[in-house]
Amino acid sequence: MKKKNKQIFYMNCMKCGKKFEEKNIEESHDIPKHLGGSDKDGRHWLCKKCHKDYEWLVFSRCANYIKNLSPEIKIRLKKIASFVKEDFFK
């Protein structure tokens, strides 16, 4: 049985502009899904490093926002974090 030649596709990272095999490009959402985003909010294609950098930037800016929330909301967030910890270490 003869093996089929697999065609390799390339894409450019929309941040750094470098060319990568398609398998090394990740779909990134303008509003990350873990923050309620969806495909209709927009998306872009990034290499793994740029995707990680983008996600970290979104996360760190959200964390800075959280620092300025009212004490009541911070208490609620601490409770949520506590529940997550309990579920994670079960």
- pTM of this prediction? 0.67
- Token pair for residue 7? 């065609």
Domain boundaries, given as residue ranges, for the chain: 10-88
Q: For position 24, what pLDDT does the model report?
A: 94
| Encoded amino acid at 44, one letter | H
Q: For position 3, what pLDDT does the model report?
A: 65
Whether residue 25 contacts residue 45, with contact meaning beta carbons closer than 8 Å, is answered with yes
4-52 tens-digit pLDDT: 777 889 999 999 999 999 999 999 888 888 778 888 888 889 999 999 9
Q: How far is CA 54 from CA 29, 31, 48, in A?
A: 10, 11, 10
49-59 tens-digit pLDDT: 999 998 888 88
